Amino acid sequence: MTPSRSVATPVAAHAAPQAEAVGTAGPPPAAPRPPVPAPAVPEPLPAPTPLLRRMLKHPRLMHHNRLAALVLAANAVVLLRALPGGIATHTISHAVLANFALAILIRQQYVINLLFRIATAAPTSWPLRIRWTLAKVYHFGGLHVGGALSGTLWFIGLVTALTVRGAPADTLTVTYALVTLLVGIVSTALPRFRARFHDHFEKIHRFGGWAALALFWAHTLTALRDRQEPPATAPEVWVLALLTFSVALPWMRLRKVPVTLDRPSSHVAIARFDHGHTPFAGSSTAVSRRPLLEWHSFANVPTPGHSGFRLTISRAGDWTGAFIDDAPDHVWVKGITTAGVANIETLFTKVVYVATGSGIGPCLPHLLAAKVPARLVWATRSPRATYGDVLVDEILDAQPDALIWDTAEHGKPDMVRLAHAAHRDFGAEAVICISNKKLTWQVVHGLERLGIPAYGAIWDS
């Protein structure tokens, strides 16, 4: 067996040299690996961009929030233009349905993949400023938020109008039930609740969403009855049919598939799938052991020239811990593989990937595919002991110049400074960061304040 390679500077080797077996025939023992010098401290960061540009890069002004504000503003304009002449209840109903259609369809997996395909079709010959903005395509969740908020506000107005005008009792009953449900869904989707009670948020969003869709059907049909309008010719019915199909489509592809797990350590499992589907690099797959209760998405790691794919699952909570300790032989998957943030790499001539811990998983398929020249900066604890020699050597084969920082040996680095140095030395156009929420935002917004295009997940779902 070929001895494993040492990890690139500044990671220390973790495998001890083989002890010599006295009186045993065989090859001589491997020579001890040379000590790794202490890592150099990155140079100080340059001066930030002018104040106005820095303000536009503030997290509260990121494109996700701008898109949500744009949808709210568009609805406000519609309301102000309609107020002088009065608004009919069916007009308010159309506004409600239009906004919720936006909120639902923008989350559809086929729509997401289409958005990425359109945004990344721009050639690298286009000005960097344009490509910088196009690469923010993954902020599309702002349209979901804006549509859901606007639709709920319009529906509150509809409840008021129907109550004042004395709608039939059954119509009001459905309307009150639906507005209560919508307010509950929106309230539990607020960032603080979602972060603290994510499992509850997921269940409320799923089952509450299904119930809301059923109540929308009931509300629409009773409203059409009150207006004596045939359902077959009503646009609301066709829109609801489209939304119902959109919601049901991923579940129509629900199936149970075999999985095998390699556990290089108690912290990580490498899940291997080969059920006749090889996803594209940069996509993600949602897996579950209890399909109705919880789903978890992980980045697909296909190997060029091989069928199937891998998922890198690290211990980050009860579900992942149980997955690693009690390895299943089958899991559930649904829908189609969906494009992730790192797909925007093709908009740039060179990119730097910054990852911490298991964030290497979403980066690895792009490094293996090598569609765009890339440089890796990876900070993790004891990489060989945690992820195994096979995975680390695979990374080094794809990225021989990677900077792999062992936090057990050298402590936690300043990732903004490391990313900036790699961006400068490699001559990259952009940086893509895959890490936890706090560090991702620190790197992304820290670099954008310096005038460097930087991207990372925004945890908007």
Q: Which residue has the tokens 């009792």?
A: 169
Question: For 317-452, where are the alpha helices, taking DSSP H only?
Answer: 318-325, 360-369, 383-387, 389-398, 407-410, 415-426, 437-448
Burial of 134 (0-12, 13-18, 19+ CB in 10 A): middle
**Which domains occur in the chain, in start order?**
62-252 (no CATH), 255-339 (2.40.30.10), 344-456 (3.40.50.80)
Q: Which regions of the chain are under pLDDT 50?
A: 1-4, 6, 8-38, 461
Give the pLDDT score at 60: 83
Contact predicate 288/330, CB 8 Å: no
- Give tens-digit pLDDT for 63-106: 999 999 999 999 999 999 988 877 888 889 999 999 999 999 99
Give the pLDDT score at 133: 95
Give the pLDDT score at 24: 36
Q: Are strands 283-288 and 296-301 parallel, antiparallel or unpaired?
A: antiparallel
As a whole number of angstroms, the distance between CA 74 and CA 1 comes to: 65
Half-sphere exposure of 386 (CA within 13 A, CB side): 19
Is-cis flag, bond preceding 10, omega within 30?
yes
Angle at 292 between CA 141 and CA 110, to 5 degrees: 40
Give the pLDDT score at 40: 58
- Give tens-digit pLDDT for 286-339: 999 999 988 999 999 988 888 999 999 988 878 889 999 988 999 999 989 999
Closest CA to 388 of 17, 30, 33, 14: 14
Q: Is 136 left (phi over 0), alpha (psi -120 to 50) or beta?
A: alpha
pTM of the full structure: 0.87
Contact predicate 374/367, CB 8 Å: yes
Closest CA to 267 of 388, 159, 170, 155: 388
Report which DSSP code applies to 266.
T
Contact predicate 235/241, CB 8 Å: no
Question: How far does the chain reach from its first CA to its final CA, in angstroms?
Answer: 45
Contact predicate 380/460, CB 8 Å: no
Contact predicate 453/430, CB 8 Å: yes
Closest CA to 208 of 169, 251, 176, 177: 177
Residues 6+ apart with CB under 8 A from 187: 193
3-state SS, residue 154 = helix
As a whole number of angstroms, the distance between CA 378 and CA 358 comes to: 10
Give the pLDDT score at 103: 96
Burial of 87 (0-12, 13-18, 19+ CB in 10 A): middle
